[in-house]
Amino acid sequence: MSKPPSTTSTDPPDTSSAPSDKASELTAVVDDLLNQLSTNFSTISSELMSKMDDMSRRLDNLEATIQAGGSTRGDGDSSSLKP
């Protein structure tokens, strides 16, 4: 097994910029994550709206077909309809 690299150094770390760097890095990561979530949400929303529009068109066509079928028969006899 290999050992993890040593974190000890001969120079003391610059603590004045380290918290700022970590905060800006965290901010960048969070911003990137939020952008990804926003993009995914937009994609899913548009796909959902597209599918709902398609379903609405299909239901409108079905309704028109049913109404056209009922008006062409015109005799009012529903005994030929199967449940």
Q: Measured between alpha carbons, how far is 8 from 82 in angstroms, rounded to an integer?
A: 83
Binned at pLDDT 50, 70 and 90, residue 13 comes out as low
Q: What is the pLDDT of residue 18?
A: 74
pTM for this structure?
A: 0.52
Question: Domain residue spans in the chain?
Answer: 23-66
Asked if residue 83 has pLDDT above 90, the reply is no
Q: Measured between alpha carbons, how far is 81 from 63 in angstroms, rounded to an integer?
A: 17
The alpha carbon of residue 58 and the mean position of all alpha carbons in its chain are separated, in whole angstroms, by 23
Q: Which residue has the higher pLDDT, 34 or 80?
A: 34
75 three-state secondary structure: coil
pLDDT digits (tens, 9 = 90+) for 24-73: 999 999 999 999 999 999 999 999 999 999 999 999 999 999 999 887 76
End-to-end Cα separation, the chain, in angstroms: 72
